[in-house]
Structures are given as C-alpha cells and as structure tokens.
Chains A and B, each alone.
Chain A
Amino acid sequence: MPPLAASYRAALSTAAKDALLRRRRPQSLPGRTVVVHDHVIPRDLVASYAGLFRGTGPLEPADLPSVLVHIAGFPAAMDLMAQPDFPLPLPGMVHLENRVRHHRPVPAGVPLQVAASAVDLAPHPAGTTVEMVVTVHGPDGGRPGAGPVLLWEGTSTYLGRGVRIDGQPRPDRPAREEFQVPDLTARWHLPSSTGRHYATVSGDYNPIHLNPLAARALGQKGMIAHGMYLAGRMLAGREPAGAGHAWSISFATPVPLPGSVSLNVTHPGPGVTEVTAWDGRGRRPHFTGRIERDAAGYRDS
C-alpha cells in the first residue's frame, strides 16, 4: 500500500510546482485504477480503532467496522489523488459525501485486494467534484474457484473548490433550505485531541485536524473533526455485526474542534437509522447520515 505521508508530500510538491509554474491541472480523470494485492489489515488496528469510540465501540470486534475498512483502503485512493495527472489539487480539497455498501464481513489479518479509481468529474456550484471508488475483495469464502468476492465498496465525493473544467456549465447554487432543528437524542463532546487521536489510528495526519494554526493556513477557522471520524462515531454501536449493510454520510459544514455536536437519531423504518447532526445552537447542520441493515444485497446463506 502506498504510504499516506508520501502521497501528501507528493501532492504538496505538485501543488507548489503548479503554483510556481502557473501550470494548469489536467482537465480529465487519469482513468487508472490503483490496485493493491495482498493487503493485510493488521489485527491490532481493530483494537486501536475501538479505542476511538471508547464505550460505544463496534458490536462485533472480530469483523472490521466499515470505517476501518475505509481507512485501510484510503491510501490507494490517495495515491491516485496525489499524482500530477489528477485534475483536482489535493490541498484544500473538501470531503462532501461517503456512500458505502458493506457486503460481507471484512476480516483482519487476511490478504485482501484493494482497488481505487476516480470517476465522474462533475461541476458543482463551488467548483468540481470527483468520486473516488474503492473496492475491497477478499478470499472466496471457502468456494474454490469462485475467485475473490466483493466485500466492501465505498464511494467518497470530494470537492475541488474553485476548480473549473473546461466546457462544463457552472450549476446554480440551490436555494438554501432553512434548517429545522430536529429532536435532540444525543450529544457528542469532541475534545481538541479528537483529530490527533483519529490520526494515530488512521495514519491520516492531515494538518487541518491536528493543529489550529495549520488549519487556519489551509482556509479553515480552526481545527475541524475528520469526516470519517464522524462517520465512525455515527456507526459505532449501530453497525450490524456480520455486515450486509449500506450507509452514507453527507457533510454540510465542518465540525470545529474542540466542540460539541447535537444529534437526532431516528428509526424511520425497520433496520433503517437516520442521523442528523448540527451545532449546539441549532443554526447549521453538520451532516446527515443513513444506515440500512440488510441493504447490501447479500446475506450469508
């Protein structure tokens, strides 16, 4: 697996060169797929991940929680995004959304095949979005010859702010809906160490989560929580054991650190959990999420 730090270094140097040479980024996706064979998610990562959500950890520690699989596959996506042939510059890129289908349990300590590709470069009122698709395939589950089985697939949507692709129309900003504060059912208190703690587990040392000065340098008002930390916390205790679920999270505004997040969690239907998170004063939403059990189209027979 390509190391994340190397990807960040490459991305920063590409961005610096772009700025220095007034070079334009490419106008299309690279079309490559980064494939990593025999990737093994270490078992001790499961324990350190569980420590992130002390008291509300995964229900079934033997199976990897969805966000931990994302963490494991993320460097492959980063490897694509950090290259000079990627149309959106990595620094300042905004994480908009994640959609995951967690088909089967993903085991730790077993060789997995991780593939990452970029699809759907699309215009956005604030720039251009790209979807990074990561798939995780595992051993055939005891059916010789069946080949690797799709265990997990996740799509992450990123926004390159201010980036315009030639010939793409600039969509209008949708009318802003007044945020209706739902019933409070939970509140997360996030200490300033949240970003550091997540970084030590994920290996993702993006400075906007770690240091208020660096975050300000990168255009934020201060340190913000990692989107996948929020996703992980949303799923903690709600993700079914044994997989077979789908979930999504859509980010509206960053969650400042330290800070607290108000949440509404409802069950609008059987096996469905919907989450809305907002700032304590109820002025703006932070994210919405949805978890569907038995929705990934697969159950072990």
Chain B
Amino acid sequence: MTENPQPQTPGAAAVAGGALRQAVVIGGNRTPFARSHGAYASAGNKDLLTAALNGLVARFGLQGERIGEVAAGAVLKHSRDFNLTRESVLGTVLDPSTPAREVQIACATGMEAIGGLANKIRLGQLDSAIGGGVDSISDAPIVFNDARSVLMDLNRARTTRDRIRAALRFRPGHLAPEAPGTEEPRTGLSMGEHQARTTHRWGITRQAQDELALASHHNMAAAYERGFFDDLLTPFGTLTRDNNLRADTTLEKLATLKPAFGRDLGEEATMTAGNSTPLTDGASAVLLGSEAWAAERGLPMLADFVDFETAAVDFVDGDEGLLMAPAYAVARLLQRQGLALQDFDYYEIHEAFAGTVLATLKAWEDESFCRERLGLHAPLGPIDRSRLNVNGSSLAAGHPFAATGGRITASLAKMLHEKGPGSLGLISVCAAGGQGIVAILRGR
C-alpha cells in the first residue's frame, strides 16, 4: 500500500497538514431486494432509502446522531426527488442537522457514494458517513415527452391565441409513455443487448454462464441459511429475503430458458433471464467512520476502505463492451496499490450478467487484451474461482442499480472481518454509459 508522503502535523486532519487516516467500514444495512412491479410496487425510492437508513440507525444505535454526511442516489428517480437523500435522512431518526447529497454514476452510484465518503474520512473532513443508494423501477417516473413539449408551450403561451394554438397541437398519441429502461441513449441497445455482443465476442458459453448463475443462487441461499445476512439486512414490507433468490434452481432448469438477449445471434445467443439480473427494487446503506469515531461508540470495525478507481470505455460504436470498464479500472488500481490480481481473499464482481463477470475474468487472462488495451506487459491472470462471489451476487439477489454498491461493500467487509485482519477483498461494479468502479477493502 502507498505511504502518505506529506509532512505530517500530529492530530490535524490530512487536509490541514496531518496524516491520512483509515476510513473504516462499520457495517451496513439493506432492504431485501424485490423483483420490480412486485413486492415493492407501491414503495417509492424515498420509502426504500428511508427504510434502509432506519435499519442502519437501529443496528448501530445512531438515533439522534449527527452523521458527517450521507451520500446516496438513485439511477431512476422523479424530478420531485431532487433531494432524495436529504429527504430520506429527514425521514429517519438521525439528527436533522445531518447533511446529505445526491450521487449518480449509474449502477456504480453506491460505490461512488461510499468511495467518496471514505476519501473525506481519510482526509479528516468527516468522522462518520453513510453511503448507499436505492432504485425502484416500480416507482420510476413515466415520461410523456411529446405531451411535455405541448404542455410546456401551453404554459409559456401569453395570449389566448397562443394558448389555443399550443393546445391544438395536442394529440392522443402524445400520451404514449416513454417507459424507463436500461437502454443506452447513444446506441438504443439495452444493457443486455450490449452484453450479448461482449459475451459473444469473448466466446463465453451458455454452460459457463448458467453455472455462474447457479453458484450465485446456491451461495446466497447458503449464506441466508447460516444467518450471514442477519446483520446486513432489515426486512421491508412483506419481504424478509430477496425474492429473486431461487435456492432450488438447477442447471437443468436454467438450461431450459430461451435466450433473452442477443437473439439476433441466433444459435449463438447465450444470455437468458436465468443468467441475467432482472430489474429490481431495493435500497442499501453502509456506515463508515474514522477509527476514533467507531471506537468512541463501541461500533465494530469490519474493514478499511483502502482505495477505489473509476474507469470508462468507448462503447458507442462497439470498440469496447459496454460493461468492460471495470477490467480497465482494476488494472489501474492494482498498479497504484502495487498488488497482483491474485492477492485477494475475496472477489466481489457484480453480476450484472453472468457474461459480464466471465468476460471480465477472461479479459484479465487474455494476453493481447492486457497488452493492447490495458497497456500491461503480461496478463493479470486467472483468479481462484472459489473466492468469487462466495455469498452470491446480483444474479441471485437482484440488482437495484444504485443499491448494489452498498450491498457488496457491507457483505465484503463482513466477510473480510470474519477472515481476519489484513485479508483483502476486491470489488468490481460495472455501470451504464461504459463506466465502472472498482475498490479494495482490507479486513480488520
């Protein structure tokens, strides 16, 4: 790990000349994740995020506490929720003087929120923080763009004549809603269609994808059974567990599913509803703090948030796969921290699609990719697959976009704490727009 080269002023914050300090993951909380238009159909982003925060407050006895900063966001949200996180904080029993801000970097929103807060703690700007995210496809705003322009003109019209003229432009067809989706604006392709290209390009087989999906469900079901999630999750509404989880699924069942993405690839289409994540509703929150802050309150210190890195790739004309940015980010992060890909006890690679994880792993093993794309002398190499997503990941839990970072961070921190001090964990989360965030946690 890198040392801080700054001259150090004892006792002062790093930004004021002191030493950098550790940002500690204290714990986390999330709602169970629900397949969209199901269990949480009537719950909004604010309800879910407030519930996740309240559960976190209850777990760590933070009632009335002024937290340094709460950062969270939602990928899909109403314009009325411009201050979603602050509004949610005001709905909790935290001290109302706890500031909050919105974060947004698609599916990596949670990671960005947590990483940014960790940096502020390391710099001495914050002693405590909560990072997280929420998404509710069920609550996503429906947009009537055609009607909108007519209504805006109507609103702007000054004279009766202008008003009549604007109103006459209105047609029933204007009420056709533009449903929220995961379509990339620049390509018109859904994330699944994009990944289908990448999966195909990297020659990832249907069998390999189904096996990864199966492992995710089985690992997560086992984790639930042994109570791993007892202190990571608070039930919400009618759910006490993620309702996408299929403990009893089998390779045979997965094999019966028809391709859902890349159907134009014909026989070579491999991505099904079984090895892809469904649209999901849910929220997560992670409590971070300085060592002193945690110690004063008798709070656990599960892991240090060591570092994180964001990358983006040019996917628009197919030069790189939409979800391949983490492959690049990991190379840069490893280089900065002087680590090898094999140095980790656990790998948490967000399963947007089984193909995403497998293509990323294959890319790291690929000589020419690592040389030409990552600018390395040698491939990053293979990882020990028994350390990958050992308590399941998004294929089993589902993936409420902005909530996934918090889910992974809290789970990994707990795993590393159980593994012991000095253990290392790698997080990789891909995001829409060809972006991705990766992070390193160190167990305590």
Contacts and interface: CB of A to CB of B under 8 A. Distances in A.
- A and B pair up: yes
Interface of A: 55-56, 181, 183-189, 191-193, 237-238, 260, 262, 264-267, 273, 280, 282
Given A273-B317, A280-B264, 17 more contacts: A55-B185, A55-B186, A56-B186, A183-B318, A184-B193, A184-B197, A185-B189, A185-B197, A185-B317, A186-B186, A186-B189, A186-B316, A186-B317, A187-B193, A193-B173, A237-B186, A265-B316
A187 B197 contact: no
B204 to A, nearest CB: 16
Contacts of B187: 185-187
B118 to A, nearest CB: 33
Contacts of B188: 186-189, 260
Interface residues of B, number: 15
Interface of B: 146, 173, 176, 185-189, 193, 197, 264, 316-319
B410 to A, nearest CB: 34
Contacts of B197: 183-185
B170 to A, nearest CB: 13
Contacts, number: 49
Interface of B is mostly: loop
A189 B193 CA distance: 14
List 9 tightest A-B contacts by C-beta distance, closest first. A185-B318, A186-B187, A265-B317, A55-B185, A187-B188, A188-B188, A56-B186, A187-B189, A186-B188
19 contacts: A55-B185, A55-B186, A56-B186, A181-B264, A184-B193, A185-B189, A186-B187, A186-B188, A186-B189, A186-B317, A186-B318, A187-B189, A238-B317, A262-B264, A264-B318, A265-B316, A265-B317, A267-B319, A282-B264
Contacts of B318: 183, 185-186, 264-266
Residue among B176, B188, B318 with most chain A CB within 10 A: B188
B144 to A, nearest CB: 13
Contacts of A193: 146, 173
Contact of B173 (A183, A188, A192, A264): A192
Q: Is the interface of A mostly helix, strand, loop or mixed?
A: loop
Nearest to B174: A193
Contacts of A56: 185-186
Contacts of B173: 192-193
Nearest to A233: B188
Contact of A266 (B146, B264, B317): B317
A177 to B, nearest CB: 20
A188 B193 CA distance: 13
Nearest to B149: A51
A266 B189 CA distance: 16
Given A192-B173, A193-B146, A266-B318, A184 B186 contact: no
A281 B264 CA distance: 8
A39 B55 CA distance: 66
Nearest to A275: B317
Nearest to B196: A184
Nearest to A282: B264
Nearest to A237: B186
Nearest to A51: B149
A184 B264 contact: yes
A259 to B, nearest CB: 12
A184 B192 CA distance: 13
Contacts of A183: 197, 318
Contacts of B176: 191
B271 to A, nearest CB: 13
Nearest to B265: A184
A181 B185 CA distance: 23
A37 B176 CA distance: 44
A184 B261 CA distance: 12
Contacts of A266: 317-318
- Chain B CB count within 10 A is highest, among A55, A185, A189, A237, for A185
B355 to A, nearest CB: 15
A235 B189 CA distance: 18
A245 to B, nearest CB: 16
A204 to B, nearest CB: 19
Nearest to B262: A184
Which of A187, A260, A282 has the largest count of B CB atoms less than 10 A from its CB? A187
- Which of the listed residues B173, B189, B197 has the most CB atoms from chain A within 10 Å of its own CB? B189
Contacts of A273: 317
B239 to A, nearest CB: 34
A181 B263 CA distance: 13
Contacts of B264: 181, 184, 262, 280, 282
